[in-house]
Amino acid sequence: MVVDQPEPSRYESLTIDDEGFIRLVWPADVTITGPSARAAFEAVNRLSADRRRPMLVDMATTKSVAREARAVFGERSAASRIALLGRSPVDRVIANFTLGVSQVPCPTRFFTDRAKALDFLRIGLQTSVE
């Protein structure tokens, strides 16, 4: 289920998959701005309908994350656990910097392997009390 059609400068897609995971995809070479992060944050909350869910964020080839976006990512949302999925050492640096300067409100880790990222999210399903 796709929640809406984002502007080109914002996230690429937002869905809930068959396992109940939120899947957020950022476009290649995007700079995630404060307004972009806020739009994604609000869309995630609407899509999840007041239920906390594990979330896979595909951030491969993200150019940068603005300070205002990092502040938004530090807010509590419908995500109960977040796996950041990238492809390169640059993606890892961006993710680690974002995580290092933002206090994330749920368990969050960076992965380059999709299967390992999904396993991390499934752990959240097993330990969830909701």
Q: State mean pLDDT over 76-92.
A: 90
Position 5 scores a pLDDT of 42
- Residue 80 to residues 8, 65, 124, 130, Cα–Cα distance (Å): 27, 21, 7, 10
- Mean pLDDT for the stretch of residues 78-102: 85
Q: Is the pLDDT of residue 22 over 70?
A: yes
| Local confidence band at 124 (pLDDT 50, 70, 90 cut-offs) | low
- Structure-model confidence comparison of residues 100 and 26, the more confident one: 26
Mean pLDDT, range 66-80, rounded to an integer? 89
Task: Indicate the burial class of 90 (C-beta count within 10 angstroms; 0-12, 13-18, 19 or more).
Answer: middle
Q: Which domains does the chain have, with CATH numbers?
A: 13-124 (3.40.970.30)
72, 50 Cβ separation under 8 angstroms = no
pLDDT for position 122 = 94
Alpha carbons 116 and 96: distance in angstroms, whole number: 17
The residues pairing with 57 across neighbouring beta strands, listed in sequence order, are 24, 84
Summary mean pLDDT of the chain: 85
